[in-house]
Amino acid sequence: MKKAYVINYDLNNTKDYDTLFAEIHTLGGKRVLKSCWLIMSSFSAKAIRYRLLSLMDGDDGIFVVRAHGAAAWRKVECANKWLKENLQSQMA
């Protein structure tokens, strides 16, 4: 079963990060805010982080955490319906 994970990052250079964003999307991700994504994945948080690190610079930061509790949001970039459905599936 796929689990929900939140990915947050701080990108410190002006590097072209399109490949990073494409990889997060490939992992089943939707952008929630500028530096925050929600993904549905069967990988662990550590495996997700490892997979993305190769697409980042050494001074960039990343935080991956499992999402499985209450959530609230406002003015997000992804569809509210998608976010609600995928987060609610984790509370069952």
Question: 39: which strand partners?
Answer: 5, 29
The tens digit of pLDDT for each residue in 73-92 reads 888 888 888 888 888 777 65
User: How many CB atoms neighbour CB 7 within 10 A?
Assistant: 23
pLDDT the model gives residue 92: 59
Backbone φ, ψ for residue 72 (5° rounding): -145, 150
3-state secondary structure of 35: coil
The tens digit of pLDDT for each residue in 22-57 reads 999 999 899 999 999 999 999 999 999 999 999 999
pLDDT the model gives residue 52: 96
Question: Residue 37: which CATH number?
Answer: 3.30.70.240
pLDDT at 20 over 80: yes
Domain count, the chain: 1
User: Which range marks the domain in which residue 19 is found?
Assistant: 3-88
pLDDT band at 16 (very low <50, low <70, confident <90, very high): confident
The tens digit of pLDDT for each residue in 57-72 reads 989 999 999 998 788 8
